[in-house]
Amino acid sequence: MTQRLRCDETPAWTALQAHYEQVGRHFDVRADFEHNPDRFAQFSQQAPHVFADLSKNRIDAQAEALLLQLAEQCGLVEHRDAMFAGGCINSTEHRAVMHYLLRNQAVAATSQEAAAPVLRGAVADAAMPEVNATLRAMLAFAEAVRADEQITDIVNIGIGGSDLGPQMAVVALQAYAIPGKRFHFVSNVDGDELGEVLTQIRPHSTLFLVASKTFTTRETMTNAHSARQWFLDQAGPGADLGRHFAALTTNLEAAQAFGIRTTFGFRDWVGGRYSMWSAIGLPLAIAIGEAGFRALLGGAHAMDQHFLTAPLAKNLPVRLGLLDVWYRNFHGFSSRSVAPYHHGLRRLPAYLQQLEMESNGKRVDVHGRALSYSTSPVVWGEPGTNGQHAFFQMIHQGTDIVPVEFIAVREPAHDMPGHHAQLVANALAQAQALLQGRSDAGGHRHFPGNRPSSFFVMERMEPVTLGALIALYEHRVFVSGSIWGINSFDQWGVELGKQLAQDIQPRLATGDVHGLDPSTAGLLRQFRPRF
Ligand SMILES: O=P(O)(O)OC[C@H]1O[C@H](O)[C@H](O)[C@@H](O)[C@@H]1O
């Protein structure tokens, strides 16, 4: 990787610091709305399937111009283009990052059209035949499962990226899910989770999907082995494991060694948290069918094209990623709350926690040098209107500023009179209240206002819009990670705990506390009589 200027060494960074001191620190969005009649138009835009209003944020044209200079001076475009050219940008794992190839399909493409990739180039041309062949095989399998009335329950066993994406999407697209089939997601090694699912299913009507990129993740392997044992015990003699288990993995040999003959693969250039577009999306494909899954890919692809081709000043992932940098590094905001005003998006905050914090929660740059500036904010949230009755108090009147991201759709999937208007009114009102505040009352009733928020609007929650929304988030995370000069595609921070768990587990049986710190030793003794 060529040496680039670190973001805090660029002239734009220094200029942003000065602009923050002179203007940003005291910038009042309400005053700017009064002086600038174009503010809404300037800070809102239509991207593929997602309209975004960023005008309630603490940003002015000068800050955005300087952020765009920062992007230029940090080599954002070169980095983006390196990713889309198949460059080895995941340098610590020596891998390319090419999940976008999995959705290299035009919206509403038929299976024939889909065989012709939209993004061209040597890397895409080489990879697409296998990508399309796997997609076709996986979608054919999904259609067969959909048509198989004997199979009523699909149990996905996977964790992290092998759970959060497909689960979030199956929940979000419930209105499009095939009737008569239930979808279960088992991720936790806590036996309560698998145990609860096993009480609801029968072996002959269940399909287990063992989803693991590596096929070595201990939680997933423990759950998969327990599920297999349960299946063999319950199904009795003649149990056909092969018909009731499939694997979604890059490690096909390990899956076969487990006894699974139906396997769908993908390549190591698909990161776990970027894998819902791959074979890991099989539960979703079963739920929404081939046409739905292709529409999801098409929506994501439309966002890829936007990210690749729109000028940076009108490039929504770029604007959002730069806003994140502005807030994190200049305003010092340490968290962002996501508030989907859509019941179907209730797993989105959990999904985004992994996407953003596992990608950008890094303290060294791509060369391993310690950073002197902050990276990933904490991302958290709950669906509206529930959050309003819980933690919005803090967002309106607390001592910290928490930018909020509202997400709403124009068309609901239900036809319950009055509900949708009330839901949307609440989302609009919350954003308005955060901005306006309330100064006609003092003390406890005073709302300071000028509290920032963004607002995303989509036509309805459907495969194509969900695909675009998730790709938007992926690229936004890429943008801020790229400015920070970190590797957004590794996750070494999850390793140490895994290793120590392997050391501790046998100690629970033996009681050996040798070499442990006093706290861990004391806690281990608390559990000792149980093992
Ligand atoms: O899909 P798997 O190989 O089982 O990995 C599952 C998850 O576990 C890892 O520890 C990482 O933190 C995640 O990025 C990954 O998605």
> How large is the ipTM?
0.98
Range of the domain at 259: 100-285
- Whether the pLDDT of residue 361 is over 60: the answer is yes
pLDDT value at position 531? 57
Predicted confidence (pLDDT) per residue in 245-265, tens digit? 999 999 999 999 999 999 999
123 shares a domain with 27: no
Residues 390 and 439 in one domain: yes
- Is residue 294 a part of any domain in this protein? no
pLDDT of amino acid 115: 44
CB of 273 within 6 A of ligand 1: the answer is yes
pLDDT score of 130 more than 90: yes
Tell me: do 62 and 193 sit in the same domain: no
Ligand 1 pocket, residue 251 CB under 6 Å: no
Asked if pLDDT for residue 435 goes beyond 80, the answer is yes
Tell me, in angstroms, the distance from the centre of ligand 1 to residue 103's CA: 21
- Which pLDDT score is estimated for 113? 47
Q: What is the token pair recorded at 240?
A: 């056909």
Which residues have CB under 8 Å from 467's CB, separation 6+? Answer: 49, 103, 295, 296, 297, 298, 299, 300, 301, 302, 303
Looking at residue 287, what is its pLDDT? 98
Could you tell me if 204 and 120 lie in one domain? yes
Among 285, 320, 335, residue at a domain's last position: 285
Task: Read off the pLDDT of residues 70-128 as tens digits, 9 standing for 90 and up.
Answer: 999 999 999 999 999 999 999 999 999 999 999 998 765 444 444 445 677 888 889 99
Looking at residue 107, what is its pLDDT?
63
Residue 2: inside a domain: no
Interatomic CA distance for residues 16 and 438, integer angstroms: 30
With a 6 Å cutoff on the Cβ, whether 213 touches ligand 1 is yes
C-alpha 219 to ligand 1 mean position (Å):
10
The pLDDT assigned to 1 comes to 46
pLDDT in tens, 419-432: 999 999 999 999 99
Model pLDDT, residue 528: 81
The Cα-based distances of 339 to 362, 402, 468 in angstroms read 25, 12, 18
pLDDT number for residue 57 = 98
Q: What is the pLDDT of residues 472-525, one digit of tens each?
A: 999 999 999 999 999 999 999 999 999 999 999 999 999 999 999 999 999 999
Whether residues 275 and 311 fall in one domain? no
Residue 372 lies in a domain: yes
Do 149 and 239 have their domain in common? yes
Residue nearest atom 4 in ligand 1 by C-alpha distance:
212
Q: Are residues 114 and 248 in the same domain?
A: yes
Span 280-297, average pLDDT: 98
Six-digit token string for 440? 């006609």
In a domain, 196, yes or no: yes
The verdict on 119 and 249 lying in the same domain is yes
Contact between 459 and 411 (Cβ < 8 Å): yes
Distance from the CA of 67 to the center of ligand 1, in angstroms? 33
**Domain stops at, among 254, 285, 316:** 285
pTM exceeds 0.95, yes or no: yes
CA-CA distance, 143 to 181, in Å (whole number)? 13
CATH number, domain containing residue 204? 3.40.50.10490
Mean pLDDT over 223-230 rounds to: 98
User: Does the residue 403 lie in any domain?
Assistant: yes
Cβ of residue 451 lying under 6 Å from some atom of ligand 1:
no
- Which positions are catalytic? 358, 389, 498
Q: Judge if 243 and 269 occupy the same domain.
A: yes
Residues 66 and 208 in one domain: no
Ligand 1 atom nearest to CA at 159: 6
The confidence score (pLDDT) of residue 238 equals 86
Q: Which two tokens mark 343?
A: 């019941």
Cα 497 to ligand 1 centre (Å): 13
Render 318-387 in DSSP notation, one character per residue: HHHHHHHHIIIIII---EEEEEESSGGGTTHHHHHIIIIIIHH--SB-TTSPBPSS----EEE---TTGG
Q: Whose CA is nearest to atom 13 of ligand 1?
A: 160
Note whether residue 361 is domain-resident.
Answer: yes
Domains held by the chain: number: 3
Last residue of a domain, one of 237, 256, 285: 285
**Residues 226 and 365 both lie in one domain:** no
- Is residue 471 within 8 Å of 84, Cβ to Cβ? no
What pLDDT is stored for residue 370 in this prediction? Answer: 98
Determine what percent of the chain is predicted with pLDDT higher than 70: 96
DSSP for residue 9: G
pLDDT of residue 530: 65
State the pLDDT at residue 116.
Answer: 47
The reply to whether 178 falls in a domain is yes
pLDDT above 60: residue 199: yes
Domain presence at residue 291: no
Matching residue, tokens 């199904």: 235
Whether residues 395 and 321 share a domain: the answer is yes
